[in-house]
Amino acid sequence: MLYRVHVEFNKDSIEVSGNEITIGVKAKPVDGQANKEIVKKLAKHFGVSSANVAIRSGHKSRDKIVEIV
**What is the mean pLDDT of the segment spanning 1-8?**
96
Q: Which amino acid is at 9?
A: F
Confidence class of residue 41 from pLDDT cuts 50, 70 and 90?
A: very high
**What global pTM score does this model have?**
0.92
pLDDT, tens digit, 9 for 90 and up, residues 10-38 = 999 999 999 999 999 999 999 999 999 99
* Residue 49 pLDDT grade (very low, low, confident, very high; cuts 50, 70, 90): very high
Per-residue pLDDT, 9: 94
- The string of DSSP codes covering 37-66 is HHHHHHHHHHT--GGGEEEEE-TTSSEEEE
Number of domains in the chain: 1
Domain coverage including residue 49: 2-68
The CATH number that applies at residue 34 is 3.30.1200.10
Q: Tell me the residue type at 38.
A: I
CA nearest 5: which of 65, 69, 45? 65
